[in-house]
Structure 1
């Protein structure tokens, strides 16, 4: 059934690369709302090394993940096999938010495909890498990525993206700080 791994080996890397969607879960330190976000675009997730992963954080309607990670660092990333052998892989760890002005951002951004509306990169140091059966996960067929998020972000100019982030991304739904005022300026170029 389930197994715990010391590292993300080649077999797990292949499994991660084959999944068209992954899920990111975070929670505030006390009370509040647990957040679970689906993520798409296969070129937004990267295995950095055997115990570190990262994903491209794109503009969105909320800032829960950034807020929770900045408050307590706890994050879980989950992959489910919707085709092939049944499997669920969870990466439990401590996350950090890397914004465009932070050291290391320029090196990390090279790991991902080109997308407008980059807010940050979430880096996760994995403390537990575990799989389990996916016996109840349904078979589903992947048709194609939705391009709506990239299209939406691509239509926004710098000023409207700044205003959107200032309105929607300064704090979580529970009032936990998210992006600061100086971090709401959008990256001028694509990832």
Structure 2
């Protein structure tokens, strides 16, 4: 039932573009595996072997901390509509913070948001599809505006304070480098 590909083809790219939700999974060498749902028009396919996605400020910052330790990431989409499909993209990712040179150019691919925390520039190693026969049908009801409203209420200074107090380490207490570059 599963089929593997070296990179994305036009059919899979169209499937990704039609989805309102994807999941990101990362893990460090120890500690917890993190799987996070993502939405809010935060992903772009830039080519058959390249995806970027923008991470908005939130309660945790696991992905940045994990990638600083082990550079691997899995993205997953589920077809909740008529045709069942699960799509996984395996790869590595470069973490870009607002202080980094390429951040502004890649961030311009997305709608403006003061909550933009990182952009992950993903290089695809392998793509895999599977049937999705057990995935339920679900209807898309719309985007939530809670995060956008929260960020606007905080403003740039409040977001910076939130990064300092809530986003500098993972739940396993590993550094995320949100405020300073990786040393090495």
**Aligned twin of 1:114:** 112
> Which runs of no fewer than 5 residues in structure 2 stay unpaired?
none
Matched residue, 1:161? 159
Structure 2 equivalent of residue 186 of structure 1: none
Given that 2:25 and 2:34 are in contact with CA atoms closer than 8 Å, whether structure 1 keeps it comes out as yes
Instruction: Show the counterpart of 2:27.
Output: 27
Query: 1:106 offset after TM fit, Å?
Result: 2.1
Show the counterpart of 1:144.
Answer: 142
Matches within 5 A, 1:119-130: 119-130=117-128
Show structure 1 runs of 5+ residues with no match.
Answer: 184-191
- RMSD value, Cα: 1.3
Question: How far is the alpha carbon of 1:158 from its aligned partner?
Answer: 2.4
Number of residues of Structure 1 aligned to a counterpart in Structure 2: 181
Residue of structure 2 in register with 1:61 after alignment: 59
- SS of 1:165's partner is helix
Partner of 1:50: 48
Q: Which runs of 4+ in 1 moved over 4 A?
A: none
Hey, what's the Cα distance between the residues in 2 that align with 1:63 and 1:6? 29
> Matched residue of 2:124: which SS?
strand
- Partner residue in 2 for 1:188: none
Deviation of 1:174 (Å): 0.5
State the shift of 1:155 in Å.
0.9
Q: TM-score, normalised by structure 1?
A: 0.90
Distance 2:112 2:105 in 1: 14
Partner residue of 2:79? Answer: 81
Displacement, 1:29? 1.1
SS of the residue corresponding to residue 83 of structure 2 reads coil
